C-alpha cells in the first residue's frame, strides 16, 4: 500500500487482504487510504482519528453487477476534481446506488447528471 493512493476493497475482499486484522484495525492501519465498501450500508474509512461511515442512498436494487466498479470510477472522478475523501465517497455512493437500479455493469453506469440529481434530492 505504500505506493497506492487508495485501496477500495469490499467487506469480503478486505478480510482476504488483511486476514490477521479486524476491519477496524485495518482501517486504522491505513488512514485516509483504505476505503471499505459495504453495499447498502455505504462505505467506511478512517480519517486518522475516527472511523467514519459514509451512508449510501436507499434504492430498489435490481442488479449489483458493476456497483464496485461504478463506486471506484466515481470516486476517482470526484477526487480528481479536488472534492476530498468524504465528499468523493458520497458522490461514489450515489453513483453506485444508481448503478444497481439497472441491469448489467455497463448499462447500470449512471450519467453524471443523474448522480447530481440524487445528491441534490436527499
Grid cell for residue 116: 447530481
Longest dimension (CA), the chain: 42
Report the Cα 18 to chain-centroid distance in Å.
Answer: 18
Residue 60 appears among annotated catalytic residues: no
From 20, 47, 63, 69, active-site residue: 69
Assess contact for 70 and 110: CB atoms under 8 A.
yes
The residues, ordered by sequence, that sit 6+ positions from 5 with a Cβ below 8 Å of its Cβ are: 33
Active site residues: 69
Amino acid at each position: 500500500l505504500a505506493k497506492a493512493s487508495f485501496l477500495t476493497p469490499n467487506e469480503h475482499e478486505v478480510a482476504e487482504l488483511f486476514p490477521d486484522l479486524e476491519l477496524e484495525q485495518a482501517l486504522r492501519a491505513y488512514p485516509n487510504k483504505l476505503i471499505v465498501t459495504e453495499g447498502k450500508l455505504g462505505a467506511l474509512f478512517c480519517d486518522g482519528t475516527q472511523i467514519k461511515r459514509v451512508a449510501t442512498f436507499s434504492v430498489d436494487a435490481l442488479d449489483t453487477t458493476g456497483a464496485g466498479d461504478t463506486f471506484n470510477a466515481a470516486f476517482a472522478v470526484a477526487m480528481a476534481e479536488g472534492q476530498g475523501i468524504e465528499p468523493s465517497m458520497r458522490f461514489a455512493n450515489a453513483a453506485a446506488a444508481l448503478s444497481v437500479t439497472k441491469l448489467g455493469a455497463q448499462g447500470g453506469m449512471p450519467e453524471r447528471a443523474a448522480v447530481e440529481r440524487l445528491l441534490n434530492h436527499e
